[in-house]
Structure 1
């Protein structure tokens, strides 16, 4: 989370309007969802990676770090769709206990993997080039209710405070050999340590939230916390590039579908 946030604040695309970057990212996501999976999903994934590493100049390590966790959920979901649980159909070409695979189920799982990967990479293109502050400001300008924006902003800021607290608690436990594999039951000891950490972190997060509420009430703030938005000029070249990229993907997809 910290790596993505740092990359967004220092990205060369920071001067580009949020709406224009949303047009690119959401256009790629919709293309991955609506267009035929082959070859639209691989083309969207390739375009997202090239745009992130190329013009946006995001380090490949940052992109890999942000994609690692979603990839686990994508794999789990794709495998669960690909395998059939229960009585194996007659056309199944793989059987292992109650699990079986057919050509149709395997293609469904593969399509889910391709679309999910492409959509996630398109979202990461937006996440690594646009700070959350800019997204929340854009949402406020577009008429999203102020209380929703404020709750999202406070939770976003509180996440970094809790992350810092959790890291400090982990360092303190390591210094006290809280995670050392000593004793007859090292796994149980580590689970107890993790449970104590989570309990303490929950109490501290509740206390921090209560102090934030008291601070706002003491200052007499009962409305929105308005911040000055950044005024950024339109980028005709960027919009033209977005249109060319999305149009090229759709043309290649339609051509592939017609020829096949």
Structure 2
């Protein structure tokens, strides 16, 4: 099981309705995307961290480990804003550093908002409710199947890597490259085989285009729902107040 799933199932907000948590995380996400990047993005990121680590009590280590890969992708992707390409070759882009900082700020805040929702809400609580909405059942089922296949593929990769390490497949750079190539080929074949067996299993069970799934009844409490928009409103209020103060000064 992924670390995000473990945190979601162990979250104190596990029994909260997904709609209320979507309002909370969605309000912060809108703040990250719509407010001025400075100081809106840092304020939204800090408030999201406070909500996640304080109110939702998400484990800090799990939160930071889950954010590590997206943040690395954001930083490396933003490097392209620093460089311009023309007929004379490569050069520093005018205003590129400012633009890169704005993109990094918005993206970091947005990632934190999404992790807040993902690490407090199991996917099993979200997809069945989405499937009940008209026209969204197919999308929910495809998302669920892809998520399941992703978990299976990751488990397969870990098992193959452990087997390669036990057979001294990482003792040198040459053997490591051979192990990586073998790993990619084996995962590719096994993924297609598992997908074929999954399709056959659904067909044998009389799949007709929809899956009947039982959904736990979760309370949509008025107090939590009333407090859910508050972090986003606080972020917007602080940003507008600081922006006005800087403008006046």
**Corresponding residue of 2:179:** 193
**Corresponding residue of 2:8:** 8
SS in 1 for 2:169: coil
Contact kept? 2:17, 2:219, Cα under 8 Å: yes
For 1:39-188, list aligned pairs within 5 A: 39-86=39-86, 98-102=90-94, 104-181=95-172, 187-188=173-174
* CA spacing shift, 1:214–1:101, aligned 2, 3 Å: closer
Contact kept? 2:83, 2:90, Cα under 8 Å: no
Corresponding position: 1:34 with 2:34: yes
Q: 1: distance between equivalents of 2:6 and 2:117?
A: 13
**Corresponding residue of 1:91:** none
Q: 2: distance between equivalents of 1:244 and 1:156?
A: 31
SS in 1 for 2:13: helix
Query: Match for 1:253 among 230, 239, 244?
Result: 239
Q: Report the CA distance between 1:67 and its aligned residue.
A: 0.5
**Corresponding residue of 2:212:** 226
**Corresponding residue of 1:184:** none
Contact kept? 2:160, 2:183, Cα under 8 Å: yes
Q: Report the CA distance between 1:86 and its aligned residue.
A: 4.2
TM-score under structure 1 length normalisation: 0.88
SS in 2 for 1:225: coil
Q: Deviations over 1:34-85 (max 9, x none)?
A: 1111221111101111111111111111001110000111102222113334
Q: Report the CA distance between 1:193 and its aligned residue.
A: 1.5
Larger Rg: 1 or 2?
A: 1
Corresponding position: 1:211 with 2:197: yes
SS in 2 for 1:14: coil
SS in 1 for 2:55: coil
Q: Report the CA distance between 1:206 and its aligned residue.
A: 0.9
Moved over 4 A (4+): none
Structure 2 gaps, min length 5 = none
Q: Deviations over 1:123-148 (max 9, x none)?
A: 00011001111121221123343222
Contact kept? 1:48, 1:121, Cα under 8 Å: yes
Q: Tell me the number of residue pairs that the alignment of Structure 1 and Structure 2 aligns.
A: 246
Contact kept? 1:82, 1:110, Cα under 8 Å: no
Contact kept? 1:147, 1:224, Cα under 8 Å: yes
**Corresponding residue of 2:229:** 243
Q: Report the CA distance between 1:101 and its aligned residue.
A: 4.9
Q: Report the CA distance between 1:243 and its aligned residue.
A: 2.6
SS in 2 for 1:99: strand
